[in-house]
C-alpha cells in the first residue's frame, strides 16, 4: 500500500523549532472470500432435482485480508440478501455455512 507521512513543526517567537513525524502504510488490499454451493455434489456446475432440497446451501471461506468486524454480504441472483453481518472470529476460523 501507499505510505502516509505526517509532520508537525512547532516554532516559538525566538525562532526555535522542533518537529516530529510519523508514518503508516495504508491497507489497500481487498479481503478474500470463496463461496461454494454445496449441493453441487458432482461439481458439474448444475443442480439436479436430486441435489436441490428446496433451498441452496453454501459454504463461505474467508481468506487473507479478512478481519473480525469486516462486513460480509451474501446475495442471490435476484439481489435478495441471504446474509448481512459482521465477520466474527468463529467465521474466520470455520467459515460460514
Distances (CA, A) of 41 to 38, 47, 49, 52, 59: 7, 9, 12, 10, 13
Grid cell in block for residue 81: 440478501
Among 30, 29, 89, 32, residue whose Cα is nearest residue 60: 32
The label of the residue with cell 432435482 reads 49
pTM, whole model, 2 decimals? 0.66
What is the per-residue pLDDT across 22-79, written as a single tens digit (0 to 9) for each?
A: 999 998 888 999 998 888 878 888 887 777 777 778 899 999 889 999 999 999 888 9
CB 91 within 8 A of CB 76: no
Amino acid at each position: 500500500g501507499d505510505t502516509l507521512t505526517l509532520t508537525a513543526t512547532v516554532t516559538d517567537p525566538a525562532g526555535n523549532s522542533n518537529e516530529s513525524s510519523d508514518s503508516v502504510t495504508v491497507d489497500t488490499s481487498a479481503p478474500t472470500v470463496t463461496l461454494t454451493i454445496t449441493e453441487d455434489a458432482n461439481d458439474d456446475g448444475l443442480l439436479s432435482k436430486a441435489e436441490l432440497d428446496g433451498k441452496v446451501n453454501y459454504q463461505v471461506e474467508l481468506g487473507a485480508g479478512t478481519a473480525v468486524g469486516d462486513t460480509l454480504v451474501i446475495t442471490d441472483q435476484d439481489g435478495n440478501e441471504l446474509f448481512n453481518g459482521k465477520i466474527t472470529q468463529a467465521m474466520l476460523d470455520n467459515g460460514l455455512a
